[in-house]
């Protein structure tokens, strides 16, 4: 069975390739789809076949999919990510791929937020394509907070507009292992699953964990969405980007990341990485 991992040189993609190898998948059965093959020399050195694959360039998709049985579509980061995702979904359907696994976002059909809208549109495109699919709705990556924790080393505070919301984050490695399970087994076929950490923590608990990792007191400072956007603009972000980032906090405050039912731990067969361990490991690897 030949497995294609898209965005394979990204943080998550590299971890998925490693997880597949750790599960016993032969390197020759893994295809790493990347925009710039020269940046994937380390994957090629591990025996993985590297192919050019750019979501925004449809001409790269059919050749990359030749002989592929299952595909992991890791969500893109381009401004028009939905168009790129649709290109991949269409090419997967045309190639007759057996299964598509997609890394989506949490609660996209329940809570309206800008980031979620892109993922919902992609889920709808997958459903319309008729391709057998597994949708893994990723909660937050603990690594998303590394910059905030690094700043807290100087300021002693973590600033957010998330109110008293909870976040069920897990490490990228946890999510990568789940993707490897979805690709290599039939256990998750045809399912849409909300996956996240075992524990949904508050921002006060995030500050406490950051303080323990940093060895200094850290507090959580709650601000409004408008105050956060203004602060981001003052720090140099353009108005649109600042509003987008602040809007994510607004979605968090409305519960977008609060759900956890242990699904991720059940998939990977072990507890998810605790918040403090994820922060410590992430900072150590920077």
Report the pLDDT value the prediction gives residue 120, as an integer from 0 to 100. 97
49-93 pLDDT, tens digit per residue, is: 999 999 999 999 999 999 999 999 999 998 899 999 999 999 999
257-276 pLDDT, tens digit per residue, is: 999 999 999 999 999 999 99
CA distance 179 to 170: 14
Report the pLDDT value the prediction gives residue 142, as an integer from 0 to 100. 98
211-237 pLDDT, tens digit per residue, is: 999 999 999 999 999 999 999 999 999
180-203 pLDDT, tens digit per residue, is: 999 999 999 999 999 999 999 999
Which pTM value belongs to this model? Answer: 0.96
Report the pLDDT value the prediction gives residue 169, as an integer from 0 to 100. 98
122-150 pLDDT, tens digit per residue, is: 999 999 999 999 999 999 999 999 999 99
Q: At residue 286, does pLDDT exceed 90? A: no
Mean pLDDT of the chain: 97
Percentage of the chain lying above the pLDDT 70 cut: 100
27-48 pLDDT, tens digit per residue, is: 999 999 999 999 999 999 999 9
| Mean pLDDT, residues 85-111 | 97
Report the pLDDT value the prediction gives residue 37, as an integer from 0 to 100. 96
b/e burial code for range 248-268 (CB count within 10 A of at least 16 → b) = bbbbbbbebbbbbeebbbebb
Report the pLDDT value the prediction gives residue 79, as an integer from 0 to 100. 83
**What is the CB neighbour count within 10 angstroms for residue 16?**
31
Report the pLDDT value the prediction gives residue 114, as an integer from 0 to 100. 87
Percentage of the chain lying above the pLDDT 90 cut: 98
CA distance 265 to 32: 26
């Amino acid at each position: 069975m030949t497995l294609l991992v898209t965005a394979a040189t990204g943080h998550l993609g590299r971890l998925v390739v490693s997880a597949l190898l750790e599960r016993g998948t032969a390197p020759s059965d893994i295809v790493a789809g990347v925009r710039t093959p020269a940046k994937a020399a380390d994957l090629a050195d591990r025996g993985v076949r590297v192919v050019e694959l750019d979501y925004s360039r449809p001409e790269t998709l059919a050749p990359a999919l030749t002989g592929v049985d299952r595909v992991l579509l890791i969500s893109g980061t381009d401004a028009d990510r939905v168009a790129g995702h649709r290109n991949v979904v269409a090419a997967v359907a045309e190639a007759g791929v057996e299964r598509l696994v997609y890394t989506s976002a949490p609660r996209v059909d329940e809570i309206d937020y800008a980031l979620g809208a892109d993922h919902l549109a992609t889920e709808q495109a997958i459903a319309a394509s008729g391709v057998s699919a597994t949708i893994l709705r990723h909660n937050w990556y603990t690594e998303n907070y590394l910059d905030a924790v690094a700043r807290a080393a100087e300021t002693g505070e973590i600033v957010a507009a998330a109110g008293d919301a909870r976040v069920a984050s897990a490490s990228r490695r946890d999510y990568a292992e789940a993707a490897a399970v979805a690709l290599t087994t039939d256990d998750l076929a045809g399912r849409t699953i909300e996956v996240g950490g075992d524990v949904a923590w508050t921002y006060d608990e995030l500050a406490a964990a950051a303080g323990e990792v940093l060895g200094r007191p850290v507090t959580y400072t709650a601000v409004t969405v408008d105050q956060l956007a203004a602060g981001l603009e003052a720090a140099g972000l353009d108005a649109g980007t600042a509003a987008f980032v602040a809007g994510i906090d607004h979605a968090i405050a409305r519960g977008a990341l609060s759900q956890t039912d242990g699904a991720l731990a059940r998939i990977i067969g072990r507890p998810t990485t605790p918040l403090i361990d994820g922060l410590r490991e992430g900072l150590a690897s920077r």
